[in-house]
Structure 1
Amino acid sequence: MRYLIRILLGLAVLAQTGCIGSSPTSRFYLLEPLAAAEAPGLSVMAGKPTLALAPVRIPHYLERAQLVSASGKNTYQLDELHRWAESLDDNMTRVILQDLSVMMPADVVSTNSQRARQAKLALAVTVLEFHIDPEGQARLTAQWQASRDDEVVLSRQSSYKVAADNDNAQLKVEALNQCLTQLNREMAAALLTINTD
């Protein structure tokens, strides 16, 4: 009888361990660039000027895989089940590079590439905030500057808010993506006014 009780207790422990061990699956997200069809039509230019984009800098609170939301003043929470599929700074850099490539008549390259030496302009972007606020708004604030021959020719700080859904991670990411697209459109329009001769 004791032997049977031990077996039953062992099975009960195994069953509980199985329940405890199963957890919800994490989902992974990426910011996406505009499709070429969504960008304004640009005439093809021979010998386009080159624009060198430095890697985007992000604050330390965003240097993590989890999506970040503000839950109150000076209070943030990390979503363990909804994560970025790659480092956010790398993802943002790639999206900005791809968006500017279709929004501008320029050859947009990374400052890490060999072609960056031919650049007429250099662009640096520093993100100050990029999260969902307590009211369910996606927020992006960034400082950015363009320089030519190490001289700053344009410097701005831009902020954007897009309505998001605090209960839907996919919609949060889409709203954050829209903020980044708006920043890219502003930067492209401003950079087009700079004489690159």
Structure 2
Amino acid sequence: MSGLTRMGLGAFLLTQIACVGSSPPARFYLLEPLAALDRAPAVSATAKPTLALIPVKIPQYLQRAQLVTASGKNTYLLDEWHRWAESLDDNITRVVLRDLSLLMPADVVLNNSQYARQAKLALAISILEFHIDPEGRARMTAQWQASRGDQTLISRQSSFQVSAENADAASKVQALNQCLFRLNREMAEALTPLGAN
């Protein structure tokens, strides 16, 4: 290998290293429960019934770290520099659990916990869409069902849209968070009259 070739190869490698080193660091996000967003109404401290929450299901296109944005009809972009800090289904499940515990006069527990045996009411949620659309709006559609034993008491599909205040990723995550809070509030209002016993 000639000296000129070695110098050219060395310059190429240095350029590649410089490109790698100049990439911006990825930023990580979590959806936050109501306690971090707003003040919940006071709930009586008397003995409360138990509601069993089945872990939330999300579609395959959301089972990834990157934030998802629709760029057009049937096309989506994955943001490599803005990612969820944990699996999105776990994050959503935890937020639903915390929000419903604040919004309802009930102890909300995961259906696989030891306390779930006391629950007479179960809640199952499937997220159908949860992303930013081409106009910068957060979009969420979810199917949810409340049941007592083998009897379905409520079965609904709910959809929400919230415009992000800015085009940055943090604003988009906040808008998605607001969609989730609206779903949680709708479910709490529908489930509270049923009681969880």
Would the TM-score normalized by the shorter structure come out above 0.5? Answer: yes
**Alpha-carbon distance, 1:45 to partner:** 1.7
Distance (Å, rounded) in 2 between the aligned partners of 1:96 and 1:171: 20
Within a 5 Å distance, the mapping from 1:6-21 to structure 2 comes to: 9=8, 12-21=11-20
The AA in structure 2 aligned to 1:155 is S
Match of residue 108 from structure 1: 108
| Identity among equivalent pairs (%) | 64
Identify the range of structure 1 (12-21 vs 137-146) with the bigger mean alpha-carbon deviation.
12-21
Amino acid paired to 1:106? A
Question: How far did residue 17 of structure 1 move?
Answer: 2.7
Query: Residue 38 of structure 1: SS of its match in structure 2?
Result: coil
Alignment length, in residue pairs?
194
How do 1:1-197 and structure 2 match up within 5 A?
Answer: 9=8, 12-22=11-21, 23-35=23-35, 38-46=39-47, 48-164=48-164, 167-197=167-197
Deviation at 1:29, TM superposition (A): 0.5
Which segments of 5 or more consecutive residues in structure 1 lack a partner in the other structure? none
Q: Deviations over 1:118-159 (max 9, x none)?
A: 102100001010000111110010010100122111111111
Corresponding residue SS for 1:160: strand
- The code of the aligned residue for 1:45 comes to T
Partners of 1:140 and 1:15 lie apart in 2 by 45
Superposition RMSD on alpha carbons, in Å? 1.8
Amino acid at match of 1:171: S
Q: Structure 2 length as normaliser, TM-score?
A: 0.91
Letter in 1 for 2:43: L
**Structure 2 counterpart of 1:17, which letter?**
Q
For 1:180 and 1:196, how far apart are their aligned partners in 2? 22
Task: Provide the rounded CA distance (Å) in 1 between the counterparts of 2:53 and 2:144.
Answer: 11
SS of 1:35's equivalent in the other structure is helix
Whether the 8 Å CA contact 2:50–2:196 is kept in 1: the answer is no
- Contact 2:119/2:196 (<8 A) preserved: no
SS of the residue corresponding to residue 34 of structure 2 reads: coil
Q: Deviations over 1:9-67 (max 9, x none)?
A: 56534431321222221111110001186111222222x10000001011111111110
